[in-house]
Chains A and B, each alone.
Chain A
Amino acid sequence: ETGVTQSPTHLIKTRGQQVTLRCSSQSGHNTVSWYQQALGQGPQFIFQYYREEENGRGNFPPRFSGLQFPNYSSELNVNALELDDSALYLCASSSGPTTGVVDNSPLHFGNGTRLTVT
């Protein structure tokens, strides 16, 4: 069983630039969520993809966008980077909803991408 992998592990960008982060989900998982974790804080939900469609979004501006591919891997894109975007970006996969549309399955996180915006 292959776990969740993220790339790159670290990234340094300048304010105003754009960044793409990548995630390969755990085998057998069809749902991917992205979280932003600032230092000393809990992970904050950005959005979730299920079968290539965004099916949930947190309180993040539209410059945060994403994609999920047919093999369930995913990308997180952030445009017009701001200094406050500096954080650990975590991708998590899960097996998706088993009862109706509510997903109660646990999240399996990758090691994250540490983004620094200067």
Chain B
Amino acid sequence: GQQVMQIPQYQHVQEGEDFTTYCNSSTTLSNIQWYKQRPGGHPVFLIQLVKSGEVKKQKRLTFQFGEAKKNSSLHITATQTTDVGTYFCALRKGAQKLVFGQGTRLTINP
């Protein structure tokens, strides 16, 4: 089963509204990766967070790694229709295995 809890499972917003998805683990993480999968597409790597309390920005996307390295968030400011898709966090379990959360599916009303 999944080692990480991702919430919410679904989020529907009006275009221009903000969106946040959260990823929570019961254990301390060495790092966390975020991926985006467009409908009918494949996951695309967005970013990797490594340091406690780290905050990284990509245009309207802000990624945060918790101080205890047990949780992470992705925040999108002023959503656009191009943001539609499912956002996954993924964490390393063991040396090779990357475990994905269930994802948060974002839909947007234009």
Q: Does B31 contact A (CB under 8 A)?
A: yes
Q: Does A106 contact B (CB under 8 A)?
A: yes
Known A-B contacts A107-B43, A112-B42; A45 and B98 likewise in contact (beta carbons under 8 Å): yes
Which of A64-72, A79-87, A95-103 forms part of the interface with chain B?
A95-103
Residues of A within 8 A of B65 (CB): none
B79 to chain A, nearest CB (A): 21
Contact between A56 and B42, CB atoms less than 8 A apart: no
* Of the residues A33, A43, A109, A112, contact of B44 by C-beta under 8 Å: A109
Size of the B side of the interface (Cβ < 8 Å), in residues, is: 25
Q: Does A13 contact B (CB under 8 A)?
A: no
Contact between A111 and B42, CB atoms less than 8 A apart: yes
Chain A 53-75 near chain B by CB (<8 Å), digits 1 or 0? 00110100000000000000000
Contact between A104 and B88, CB atoms less than 8 A apart: no
Known A-B contacts A106-B33, A106-B48; A43 and B92 likewise in contact (beta carbons under 8 Å): no
Contact between B95 and A108, CB atoms less than 8 A apart: no
Q: Does B110 contact A (CB under 8 A)?
A: no
Contact between B97 and A97, CB atoms less than 8 A apart: no
Residues of A within 8 A of B88 (CB): 42-43
Q: Does A30 contact B (CB under 8 A)?
A: no
Residues of A within 8 A of B92 (CB): 102-104
Q: Does B82 contact A (CB under 8 A)?
A: no
Q: How far is the CA of A86 from the CA of B67 in the complex (A)?
A: 40
Known A-B contacts A42-B88, A42-B103, A102-B92; A109 and B43 likewise in contact (beta carbons under 8 Å): yes
Q: Which residue, B48, B88, B100, B101, has most C-beta atoms of chain A within 10 A?
A: B100
Known A-B contacts A104-B31, A106-B48; A55 and B42 likewise in contact (beta carbons under 8 Å): no
B interface list, Cβ under 8 A from A: 2, 6, 30-31, 33, 35, 41-45, 48, 50, 88, 92, 94-103
A interface list, Cβ under 8 A from B: 33, 35, 41-45, 48, 50, 55-56, 58, 90, 92, 97, 101-104, 106-112
